[in-house]
Structures are given as C-alpha cells and as structure tokens.
Amino acid sequence: MTVTASDHWIATARGKLFARSWAPPDRRRDGDATIILFHDSLGCVDLWRDFPRQLAAATSRQVVAYDRLGFGRSDAHPGSLPLTFIRDEAEVAPLLRDTLGLGAVVPFGHSVGGAMAIATAARWPGICSQLVTVAAQCFAEERTLSSIRAAKADFERPGQFERLARYHGAKARWVLDAWTTVWLAPGFAAWSLDDELRAVRCPVLVLHGDHDEYGSLQHPERIARLAQGPARAITFEGCGHVPHREQLTRVLAEVARFLAPATT
C-alpha cells in the first residue's frame, strides 16, 4: 500500500514545531479520527522510523507525528523543562487540529508520550475518540528512576551522546538533560496521572511489555483501572520498553482491531 507523507510546521507562542502526516489511499475521510503520535523522552519524528507509515496502512487512518519543542527538527526550547511538562503537552492537540484541518483524534503515545496522550484525552474529551498507550508511565516508580540513572551514566560512554545528536543536533544536550533532570528531581517524586486518568472517558488500549525496564506492570494495571472509559490492558510476553519495534506485527494487529469501526 502506498502511504503519502507530507511535512508541516506548527506555529506556537514559543517556537515552531515540526510535524509529519501519513495518509493511506483508502482512508475513510468521514468519521475516522486521526492518530496523533506522542514520542518518548529522547524521541522525535525520525526515531519512530517506519512505524507511522505501517500504522497508517494497518488502520487505514491518517497518522500525525510531531517533534516536541526542543526535540528533532522543532525549534529549540527557550528554557528548562518544567515539572508540569507532561500535562502542558496536552495543549498541542488543538494546534495540530487547527493547522492540519483535523477532526476527532486518537492520542497514541510511547513511554512518557503515553502519559502525554493520557493528559490529552483527559484535557480534551470532546475531540478524543479513543486512546492508545504503549509502555506508558503514569507515576514516578523507582524502577523507572533507576533505569534513567543507568541511562544517564551510559550516555557518558564514547559514542553514545553522538548517537543522540544525530537526531537532535545542537539540542541533544538539552534533550538529555531535560529527561534526566526532571524525572530525577525531588519535586517530581510524587507525580502521578491519577486525576487525569479519572477524567478519561473514551475507550483505552494499554500495551505494555512484561520485561519493560522503564516501568513495571503496575502502570498498565493502574491506567486500565482508573480510566473511566472501557479499557483493555494487554501484556506482551518477553517484551521490553519498545513493543512497536520488538513485537511490531502484534502491536499493529491489536491497534487495528481496537480502532476498527463497530459492526452492527
């Protein structure tokens, strides 16, 4: 299937965001919500690799991914990342909708992007038809923090930081520091998305690997339990933090099944 990709720039009060859209030729334009991808703590559009195109083909839906401010091709962030950065990211969805002429949306996030997808669904219940999280965190777990400390040390090894700079350029140091500084800050220790989850009314699909080094199975259980819409949590056996690479075929199948139009 030929999926058409197009690039866009989204104006915000603090700088421009880079976004890319993938549209399959057979997508149903009326009534089908667009999937919006929220990337992880070190991610960007390019680091999704071929997944957005494959997702668009599998679901016959438009898929949009964007670089958060300070990441990838988006403008540099004007300051330090606040402790409220996850909830703050929910304000981007209306900008994407207005600029790209979208209707309803499906927030879809990986890792901290999953937390941002939850915050988006809670903030904008009127435009979010469904919600998908992959390896999402919903509270500050010691397992997550321990892995972040280990990753921070690993980036001091030769060649590791240069790998990050290939995707973020001169912003790479800010990207790394933003991730580690916020998550390891004493003021972030009590963070959770419990209130946001209780405000989620749409159907929710929660995907998580049982070997995820950045979050135990407490996260998918908590997301599914607290969300007020119908929720299904699926555990991928033998899978780590990136199910859409480690078990791509199953991820695509589960998401396509979840988003398939109801039959009467």
CA distance 25 to 173: 39
CB count within 10 Å of CB 84 equals 11
pLDDT of 264 reads 38
| Domain range for 114 | 4-139+193-258
Q: Is residue 38 part of a domain?
A: yes
Q: Is residue 178 part of a domain?
A: no
Q: Is residue 124 part of a domain?
A: yes
Domain count, the chain: 1
Q: Is residue 173 part of a domain?
A: no
Q: What angle do CA 169, 170, 176 make, to 5 degrees?
A: 85
**Positions in the chain short of pLDDT 50:** 30, 264
Q: Is residue 151 part of a domain?
A: no
CA distance 118 to 196: 7
Q: Is residue 172 part of a domain?
A: no
pLDDT of 27 reads 63
pLDDT of 30 reads 47
CB count within 10 Å of CB 26 equals 8
CA distance 156 to 44: 21
CATH code of the domain in which 129 resides: 3.40.50.1820
Q: Which amino acid is at 97?
A: R
Q: Is residue 202 part of a domain?
A: yes
Q: Is residue 188 part of a domain?
A: no
